[in-house]
Amino acid sequence: MDNCFSDLQRTVLLTTLQENKKTYDQIADECGYSPKYLKQDVAPKLWQLLSEVLDKKITKFNIKTILEEQMRHQEAAIKMLPMTFAVNSLPTSEKGNILLVDDQPQNLKLLSDLLEEQGYEVQQAINGVIALQAVAVGSPDVILLDIYMPELDGYTVCQKLKANPKTQDIPVIFVSALDEAWDKVKAFSVGGSDYITKPFKTVEVLARVENQLKVRQLQLRIKYLEQQLEEKNQQLQQILQKS
């Protein structure tokens, strides 16, 4: 399944699904490839593969809309299932599971109250070690991570998460009083998805969490599409072997 999309194709796809869209030239420059190769080879093959899986014409301009539409249909179908099936099919919280990591109990309580009030399921970790243990038990949908903590700081925690194939796709939002450009650059360089500066505004926290949850849902959808594509490839190979 991992070979359905190349790393560069996956980067193009995930970047296309982000709010801050980038041009092919920008993606090629960041990944160290020529824009011509990306535009004329990598991207066309990616959209062709997705078109075959989804059975409709896919481009960089409509992929996000189509995936979101499919997820809405899937959620509606789940809600129509008998209760015994629906309970097993839905996540613990329909809105999402958030892991908060901060060594200050008052910060944990403030964020926890805010998110639980909006219907999110919230877990708390008082330091980086406990956070990694919690993630090993069950992957949250999004992690809100402080930077300065004893034993393991937020940067190190994020690096460990991104180094593990099982946790590398979990969005990490750094929440810190550090407001220098260097702090934010370092946060993104270790794999952070977003950055919130303390003291934060309620509306900002909720908006950024919601955005990362959408990205996470789209990532899971992409994995599902890769699985479908792999199954089709296997079926094709079986047909060719018999012929």
Burial class (CB in 10 A: 0-12, 13-18, 19+), 211: middle
**What is the set of domains in the chain, with CATH numbers?**
1-90 (no CATH), 97-217 (3.40.50.2300)
Q: Which residues pair with 101 in a beta bridge?
A: 125, 145
pLDDT, one tens digit for every residue, the chain (243 residues): 344 668 888 888 888 877 667 889 999 998 899 999 999 999 999 898 888 777 789 898 888 888 877 766 655 544 444 433 333 333 444 678 999 999 999 999 999 999 999 999 999 999 999 999 999 999 999 999 999 998 899 999 999 999 999 999 999 999 999 988 899 999 999 999 999 999 999 999 999 999 999 888 887 888 787 777 777 667 666 765 664
Question: Could you give the CA distance from residue 232 to residue 238 in angstroms, rounded to a whole number?
Answer: 10
- Rounded Cα distance between 175 and 199, Å, is 9
Residues 6+ apart with CB under 8 A from 132: 152, 157, 160, 161
- Give the model's pLDDT for residue 20: 63
Would you state the pLDDT for residue 91? 43
The confidence score (pLDDT) of residue 94 equals 64
Cα–chain center distance at 16: 13
Closest C-alpha to 157, from 178, 124, 135: 135
One-letter amino acid of 93: S
Beta bridge pairs of residue 100: 124, 144
Q: What is the chain's percent helix, strand, coil content, to nearest 5?
A: 60, 10, 30
Provide the pLDDT for residue 236: 60
Rounded to whole angstroms, the Cα distance separating 188 from 173 reads: 10
